[in-house]
Amino acid sequence: MNKVLLVDDEKRMLDLLALYLQPYHFNCTKSLRADVALSYIEKEIFDIVLLDIMMPKMSGWELCKAIRRVSDVPIIMVTARDQHEDIVKGLKLGADDYITKPFNEDELIARIEALLRRRIPVNHIEVHGLLWDEDHFKLSYKQQPIKLTPKEFAMIGLLMKKPEQVFSREQLIELIWGYHSNIEGRTVDSHVRNIREKIRHAGFPIDEHFKTVWGVGYKWIN
């Protein structure tokens, strides 16, 4: 059963969304406030988030941005606004899809199911002989193992899963160490140096793939 977080400041809309989703075996968690929804995201794992834009105190746009700092859960913006600039803004902040009120129940279910189908876990990634194998917690180059710490393994895997995406040091800290950790940026830099050194020693041309984006963070290029 897929877990869905529903966020809207109107109880009637939350109840309506749950009414639509529950017959399709979705386990729905409701939140009338954006800050409460963010606390749920930090504590639980959800399969998808349905998020209203127009909310008091913390807007859906702000919540979407905050969610993206800690999670890559699929987000569908659900709103009465249908202006082009609103759609573009939501997508740029990290939303995966957008549906306007009033919406068709079948269309909503189809959009949710389409996003869930795309979230097939990526457990094995290979780039020019460098293999990241999550199932066996192993990084190897041309079948020769490269020993990494758990944090180093998680970091290189995160980057390899999303080539070309730039991760800031703050994002890496939140995604690898956790939102409430006391880790500083220099710890990220130290892990990056260790990863590069270990993979370079194995013979893989790491500097062609693991790039520093000066003043921003790091990214992976296939």
Query: What average pLDDT score do residues 94-115 get?
Result: 87
pLDDT surpasses 60 at 120: no
Shortest CA distance to 78 belongs to which of 18, 26, 166, 22? 18
pLDDT surpasses 70 at 46: yes
Which pLDDT value is given to residue 136? 86
Which pLDDT value is given to residue 121? 61
Which pLDDT value is given to residue 156? 96
3 state SS for the chain:
CEEEEEECCCHHHHHHHHHHHHHHCEEEEEECCHHHHHHHHHHCCCCEEEEECCCCCCCHHHHHHHHHHHCCCCEEEEECCCCHHHHHHHHHCCCCEEEECCCCHHHHHHHHHHHHHHCCCCCEEEECCEEEECCCCEEEECCEEECCCHHHHHHHHHHHHCCCCCEEHHHHHHHHHCCCCCCCHHHHHHHHHHHHHHHHHCCCCHHHCEEEECCCEEEECC
Which pLDDT value is given to residue 57? 84
Residue 175: exposure state from Cβ atoms within 10 A (0-12, 13-18, ≥19): middle
Question: With bands split at pLDDT 50, 70 and 90, how would you rate the model's confidence at 41?
Answer: confident
**Which residue would you say has higher pLDDT here, 205 or 103?**
205
Which pLDDT value is given to residue 122? 65
Which pair of tokens denotes residue 186?
Answer: 């220099």
- Rg over CA atoms, the chain: 20
Question: With bands split at pLDDT 50, 70 and 90, how would you rate the model's confidence at 82?
Answer: low
Query: What average pLDDT score do residues 200-205 get?
Result: 96
Which pLDDT value is given to residue 138? 93
Q: What is the pLDDT of residues 137-187, one digit of tens each?
A: 999 999 899 999 999 999 999 999 888 888 899 889 988 887 677 888 899
Q: What angle do CA 74, 107, 89 make, to 5 degrees?
A: 45
Peptide bond into 150 cis (omega under 30): no
